[in-house]
A and B are shown apart, each in its own frame.
Chain A
Amino acid sequence: AQSVTQLDSQVPVFEEAPVELRCNYSSSVSVYLFWYVQYPNQGLQLLLKYLSGSTLVKGINGFEAEFNKSQTSFHLRKPSVHISDTAEYFCAVSSSHSGGGADGLPFGKGTHLIIQP
C-alpha cells in the first residue's frame, strides 16, 4: 500500500517570501503523486500532479513540485507567496498499477500554510 507523510502541520511565511511544503511517500511500486489545495470552507482543488516524464512539475497559481525518486519526496514550492495562498495543502499518492480509482486516494495529514503580511 502507498502512503504519504507531511511532516509540517503548519508553515508560517511572510508575504512575497519563498515557501517549500514537504511531502515524502512510501511505496514499493511506481507511483503517481498529487498536491491539492483546500481554501477555507471549500472542496479540494488539484494543484499539480506527477505521472511520468519530467521530474519538475508545474501547476496552477505559480506552484511547482519536484519528484525525487531516490529521496522518495515530492516537495511543493512557490518562489513568492501571496496572502491568497493561505490554505491547507494535501499531498496524495496512488499506484500506477492499481485499477483506476479502486483504492481511493491516500492523503497526507495536510500542511496549513499561513501567509503573514
Chain B
Amino acid sequence: DTEVTQTPKHLVMGMTNKKSLKCEQHMGHRAMYWYKQKAKKPPELMFVYSYEKLSINESVPSRFSPECPNSSLLNLHLHALQPEDSALYLCASSQGGAGGLKAQYFGPGTRLLVL
C-alpha cells in the first residue's frame, strides 16, 4: 500500500481564519513533506520532517506552521493567509534514513483558496 491521504480535499478561507490541513500515511515512512504547487508549476518544497523532527523549513512565512504529532501524521496550520497563498498543497512521504531518497509518495492534495 503506497497511499498518502489528505484532508480536506478543498478549502476556502478568509484572510483572518485559522484552518489546518491534515496528512496521514501508514507505510512506516519516517520522512514527511509539505509542498506548495501553483498552477502550471512544479511543486515547491516547504517543510521536511525526518523522524518527527523538522529538518527543513524553506524560508516559509510564519503564517504556515507545520506539526508532526507522530510518525504517521503531518499537519499544516494556516493563519492570516494572503490571497497569493491560494494553491494546491501536497503532502508526501518517503522511507527516510541514509542511502538517499529512493521514492517519494504523494497525497491527492488540498486545493486552497484564500479570499
Is there an interface contact between B43 and A100, defined as CB atoms closer than 8 Å? no
Asked if B11 is at the interface (CB within 8 A of a chain A CB), the reply is: no
Say yes or no: A100 contacts B42, CB within 8 Å: no
Binds B, one of A14-22, A62-70, A71-79, A88-96: A88-96
Pairwise interchain contact B94-A107, C-beta atoms closer than 8 A:
no
Among B42, B90, B101, point to the contact of A32 (Cβ < 8 A).
B101
Q: Which of B41, B43, B45, B101 has the most CB of A within 10 A?
A: B101
**Pair A109/B90 contact, Cβ less than 8 Å:** no
Separation of A43 and B58 alpha carbons in the complex (Å): 21
Interface size class of B (residues with CB under 8 A): 35 or more
A44 on interface, CB distance cutoff 8 Å: yes
Q: Find out whether the CB atom of B99 lies under 8 angstroms from the CB atom of A96.
A: yes
Interface string of B91-115 (1 = CB under 8 A from A): 0101111111111111111010000
Interface residues on A, range: 20 to 34
CA distance A107 to B43 in the complex (A): 7
Contact B90 A43 (CB under 8 A): yes
Q: How far is the CA of A51 from the CA of B58 in the complex (A)?
A: 26
Chain A, residue nearest B111 (CB): A41
Contact A99/B50 with A42-B109, A43-B109, A108-B42 known, Cβ cut-off 8 Å: yes
Could you list some 19 contacts between A and B, CB below 8 A? A32-B101, A43-B4, A43-B6, A44-B90, A46-B2, A46-B106, A94-B101, A95-B101, A100-B102, A101-B31, A101-B50, A101-B96, A101-B104, A102-B48, A102-B101, A104-B35, A109-B42, A110-B40, A110-B41
